[in-house]
Amino acid sequence: MLVDSHTHLYLPEFDCDGGGEAVVKRAIEAGIGRMMFPNVDLSTIEPMKRLHDLFPDRTDMAIGLHPTEVNNDWRNNLRIIESESRTDSYSAIGEIGIDLYWDKTFRNEQIEVFRRQCILANELNLPVIIHSREGLEEVLGVFKELDKIPVSVFHSFGGSVEDVERIREFGDFYFGINGIVTFKNSTLSEVLPVIGIDRILLETDSPYLSPVPKRGKRNESAYLNYTAAYIANIFNMSVEQIGKITTENYYNFLKGIMSA
């Protein structure tokens, strides 16, 4: 069994293909035993919950305000997210973090929203799913300010060995690895042995970042098998071994297990 630790199957990109329900079923048929749905903004909460309710034993949910969705109304939006988080439906806070790739206008607001959501995660004793795109300096800056850093996964990680080492100055974090590892220009094949298989979570980030040989097409959780096979080759393991270890990693992440 494989676990897709990060997939947005509830988004409109899947409406033309039988909807999220059909895509989840395809994933299950392909051997994906469990999927995590991270939230994006206020508009995605309800469709995410509807899809989760159809597969409560196969899916988990994370609640958070995505950094690219931080705008002038961030205080009100964050207040609603915080209120929603206090239900018993969520397994993590996310995805949250810093994204300065597209726009730096709300850089300071992104930092404040990330900081507040990390504090919220600590209050609720939930792990965190971190989105960091050209924002590692800011993420680590928030870590320095926190009394306690929540157990976290650096989702869609595509960084360097140096990035891994900098992150590990703050704790033994998890790293979400998706189709990026299969891209010709990716250097992750050299980075993964440094991370170690015991700190890797498999993910797709559907509908984005389809792995080779599906690159250029809309991604879905069933394609996780391609990424798992690629990683198995890097570690000289079977896909079954990779599945067993990364599934255990996922459940340890949800339990908040992270050694310093």
- Given this model, what pLDDT does residue 259 score? 56
pTM exceeds 0.75 = yes
- Given this model, what pLDDT does residue 236 score? 98
Q: If the chain, 260 residues long, is cut into consecutive pieces of 10 residues, what is the mean pLDDT of each piece? A: 97 92 98 98 98 98 98 98 94 98 96 98 98 98 97 98 98 97 96 98 98 97 98 98 98 82
Give the span between the Cα atoms of 66 and 175, in whole angstroms: 18
- Given this model, what pLDDT does residue 18 score? 85
- Given this model, what pLDDT does residue 88 score? 81
